[in-house]
A = this chain, B = another copy of it.
């Protein structure tokens, strides 16, 4: 289908079919109502879908997908719309299937540590539902009070505590999925390992390109008895990096191990005034340990010693909840603080081997200087998951493109040292042009075989995740990402 052909799509019978299948009150067509769906958390890209549908049940999702298949129109799934890579960005002349109103917790089985939810359930509702009994749901993206579990599954979201507990895929036992054909399948199961191909693992992180999860079985964990947070400050980034290496090399896996550089911590102090981050530190580490009280105490002592051995100036330890909150407050407010310091910021998301931390942070600074932008670093140091924040002003023409180029250079740096172009935000629309930097043509072709096996008509979020030959060509010429090229089939 060419662009010209698509522009001739007659939406009337499609809208009628949706109305008949899921009710006309659940079909949004008016331009002013559709406006709120034109972007996700990656606000620099905007595109209105042709129609938005709001199913409530698995069967309604299946009916909606079957209508898309029948009329051969692409669809994009959207949860809460907080994703940072444009995974839920609508495509022109597409159907947006919004799962936000599928927000029921379907079952709680404390004995077997499982909770079954609909995809629109907000991440921290899961913990709220089980915390009374002493359990919690581990993956904790910064957006956990607003992001949906369905979106977490699509993007394989991480968070501060994923260092010790793993990202979303490690906590999803099973999925009920509506395939792009409209068929309903059950992937995974109720126990940790099921035989056959791990299609549940394949689906997590597939960014809406293999179908829509409509029921998600999550593993919940027993809340730790004791928690301690340490703040260590360093006079050089290298020393902070060395302390991170020393801690992990000692076989210690803290619950969280975060780093903020001088620029970030000063930005935070300017805006939220925690009064506990030393403004002259080159970098600080925030380290959370959890477990049995004896374990936490012993581990805390070891971590404090390792920090001191690696040049920490001061170490602050918080054990009670208020004190812990105070130490975390600046880290949690870091992105918001950047928003107050600069009209706009662009968050990048890359992974590097931990041993490369000091080198990569220096290189990022040099890249920022070269491009003429300030880069703040606030990130999950323990698993080498960087979040460089590039400050810019979208109102100045050309800045977005320059910032994206800088972001791309940072990703290529991550790949060059043996890392990855995404740690937890996904590829989405934003980064698919960098996939060829990380994967060979044969690697990418193998992924596309799998995609086509599950979605032969290429209707499920077709312009996301995998590059098309055209976008790859553009990436090779460093001209990528300015526009969304059409996918092959159009």
Contacts and interface: CB of A to CB of B under 8 A. Distances in A.
Interface of A: 110-113, 134, 156, 158, 167, 169-170, 179, 183-187, 189-199, 201-202, 204-206, 210, 221-225, 245, 248-251, 291-295, 297-299, 302, 351-355, 383-384, 418-424, 426-427, 431, 435, 438-440, 442-444, 446-447, 449-454, 465-466
A105 B378 CA distance: 37
29 contacts: A111-B355, A113-B248, A158-B193, A167-B193, A170-B170, A179-B446, A185-B442, A185-B443, A189-B420, A189-B438, A190-B353, A191-B353, A191-B419, A192-B351, A195-B431, A195-B435, A196-B205, A196-B427, A196-B439, A196-B447, A197-B447, A197-B451, A202-B450, A221-B251, A222-B250, A223-B251, A294-B295, A295-B299, A450-B450
Contacts of A179: 446
A440 B298 contact: no
A69 to B, nearest CB: 15
Contact of A299 (B194, B210, B292, B421): B292
Query: Which 9 residue pairs spanning A and B have beta carbons closest together?
Result: A222-B251, A453-B453, A295-B295, A294-B298, A201-B201, A195-B422, A449-B453, A294-B294, A111-B355
Nearest to A200: B201
B351 A193 contact: yes
Contacts of A112: 353-355
Nearest to A419: B191
A450 B440 contact: no
Most buried by B among A110, A189, A192, A298: A192
A420 B298 contact: no
B251 A224 contact: yes
B295 A193 contact: no
Given A205-B197, A295-B298, A351-B193, A184 B454 contact: no
Contacts of A158: 193
A353 B422 CA distance: 34
Count this chain's copies in the assembly.
Answer: 2
A119 B245 CA distance: 30
Nearest to A202: B202
A294 B296 CA distance: 9
A111 B225 CA distance: 31
Given A193-B422, A196-B439, 13 more contacts: A184-B442, A186-B439, A187-B446, A189-B438, A193-B351, A195-B435, A196-B465, A197-B202, A197-B450, A198-B201, A198-B204, A199-B447, A202-B450
B383 A192 contact: yes
B295 A186 contact: no
A251 B189 contact: no
Contacts of A450: 197, 199, 202, 450, 453-454
Contacts of A420: 189, 191, 193-195
Contact of A297 (B201, B251, B294, B426): B294
A352 B295 CA distance: 31
A440 B187 CA distance: 10
A485 to B, nearest CB: 18
Nearest to A444: B196
Contacts of A201: 169, 198, 201-202
Contacts of A291: 295
Contacts of A134: 251
B443 A187 contact: yes
A197 B198 CA distance: 11
Nearest to A355: B111
A158 B192 CA distance: 12
Nearest to A114: B353
A449 to B, nearest CB: 4
Contact of A440 (B186, B199, B352, B421): B186
A191 B351 contact: yes
Contacts of A295: 291-292, 294-295, 298-299
Nearest to A169: B198
A19 to B, nearest CB: 27
A222 B438 CA distance: 29
Contacts of A113: 248
B193 A423 contact: yes
